[in-house]
Amino acid sequence: MDGSFTEATRIPLWDPERDDTLVCRQVRQETHDVKTFVFSGREPRAFRFYPGQFMTFELPVEGMIQRCYTLSGSAARPYRVEITVKRVPGGPGSNWLHDHMAPGREIAVSGPMGEFTTDATAEQKLLFLSAGSGITPMMSMARTACDLGAPADLAFVHAARSPSDMIYRQELSLLAQRNHGLKLALVSGTAPASDAWAGFTGRLSLPMLQLIAPDFAERKIFCCGPAPFMEGVRAMLAEARYDMETYYEESFDFGAETAGSFEGEPEAAPEVSGQTFRISFVKSGKVVECGPGMTVLSAAREAGLRPLSSCQRGICGTCKTRLVSGDVEMAHGGGIRQREIDQGKILACCSHPLNDIEIDL
């Protein structure tokens, strides 16, 4: 049996090395400022991803920008992927998706990638803490677990500004009704009289958490949401002396400081020589000395260039550029395909020169 076909259907697997175009099949309005976009391949493809992983989308706005979106659907429904996007006021990427992405439209992507994942069907006590659009990785993990069997012991706490801002509200309630291993607690910042709100009201606090999951100290915690929410969670857990060894968080803002860790093996730091090499930026004509430990991206900035970059960890692919001559050591995290490396492309954020090099910037 050829390993590149799923056993049951013989539909070829999505191959991130070769496949790079999704076709939009459906758009769903989730809340007043959140939409879900459902995609499949041009030809039928089976996607293989860990729930919680994301894809990087190339959006034709302001030239071309790249934005990452979590695959919010179930990893156990492999023939389509979906993303759930909050419209960020003034944000070019999310507004373009909301205004222009429609059934039939094609979009270039890379991935899936990312390490923020867990198996909620496994015998482990879990606590998901999400807020706003930060629910997407948790939703994928919960949907996947419910599809694959049932969550073993999952307490899922989701917070939103108001009941009408609560993404997947009905589906979450339904999943909790049908799966005894899933205990759901919805927390709304406000509770308008117009909504028959039966959940918690106010900000997520330690007394509230103790009520929802009294055994939270024994649970592995996964957290995702806006930076102030995650800061609040960390402060709350510090107050409760929670062991942060079992705390994992995902930030939707790669630039933000994250105190949490990521599940999975930490990436090995590249062996960098103690030497200084010359980097020539061909398009701009700038030349800079690249000292020990410096990346091509930091050297470009030192030269006064402003190349696009996002994650700084070789994951998102935003800083992809071409190595014109010379050699680099690149410790990427999945943000570049082997065929692109073969074509001489590199990710500037995680590449260190091994000799004098020329870069197409």
Ligand X SMILES: Cc1cc2nc3c(=O)[nH]c(=O)nc-3n(C[C@H](O)[C@H](O)[C@H](O)COP(=O)(O)OP(=O)(O)OC[C@H]3O[C@@H](n4cnc5c(N)ncnc54)[C@H](O)[C@@H]3O)c2cc1C
**Hey, which residues between 33 and 62 contact ligand X (CB under 6 A)?**
54
CB of residue 267 to ligand X, shortest distance in Å: 16
Q: Is residue 254 within the footprint of ligand X (CB under 6 A)?
A: yes
Q: Which stretch binds ligand X (CB under 6 A): 35-43, 92-100, 280-288, 317-325?
A: 92-100
Q: Is residue 133 within the footprint of ligand X (CB under 6 A)?
A: yes
Q: Which stretch binds ligand X (CB under 6 A): 21-29, 65-73, 258-266, 351-359?
A: 65-73
* Closest CB to ligand X among residues 226, 314: 226
Q: Is residue 349 within the footprint of ligand X (CB under 6 A)?
A: no
At residue 170, φ and ψ (nearest 5 deg) are: -65, -45
**Among residues 30, 40, 55, 67, which is the contact residue for ligand X, using CB under 6 A?**
67
* Closest CB to ligand X among residues 226, 334: 226
Which residues are CB-contacts of 348 (< 8 A; sequence separation ≥ 6)?
295, 296, 297, 300, 307, 309, 319, 320, 321, 359, 361
C-alpha dist (Å) from residue 244 to 140, 156, 158, 222? 23, 18, 20, 11
> Using CA atoms, how far apart are residues 98 and 85, in angstroms rounded to an integer?
8
Q: Is residue 85 within the footprint of ligand X (CB under 6 A)?
A: yes
CB of residue 27 to ligand X, shortest distance in Å: 14
Q: Which stretch binds ligand X (CB under 6 A): 66-74, 182-190, 325-333, 342-350?
A: 66-74
CB of residue 162 to ligand X, shortest distance in Å: 15
How many positions of this chain bind ligand X (CB under 6 A)? 24
Exposure letters 343-352 (e unless 16+ CB within 10 A, then b):
eebbbbbbbb
Q: Is residue 144 within the footprint of ligand X (CB under 6 A)?
A: no
Q: Is residue 84 within the footprint of ligand X (CB under 6 A)?
A: yes
Burial bucket for residue 52 (CB in 10 Å: 0-12, 13-18, 19+): buried
**Among residues 16, 93, 199, 335, which is the contact residue for ligand X, using CB under 6 A?**
93
Structure tokens at 260: 């949490």
Q: Is residue 91 within the footprint of ligand X (CB under 6 A)?
A: yes
H/E element, 154: strand 153-160
Residue nearest to ligand X (CB): 91
Q: Is residue 94 within the footprint of ligand X (CB under 6 A)?
A: yes
> Using CA atoms, how far apart are residues 269 and 262, in angstroms rounded to an integer?
16
At residue 62, φ and ψ (nearest 5 deg) are: 50, 50
Q: Which stretch binds ligand X (CB under 6 A): 85-93, 99-107, 156-164, 301-309?
A: 85-93
H/E element, 140: helix 135-148
Exposure letters 182-220 (e unless 16+ CB within 10 A, then b):
bbbbbbbeebeeeeebebbeeebeeebbeebbeebbebe
Contact residues: ligand X, CB under 6 A: 54, 67-70, 72, 83-86, 88, 91-95, 114, 132-133, 136, 226, 252-254
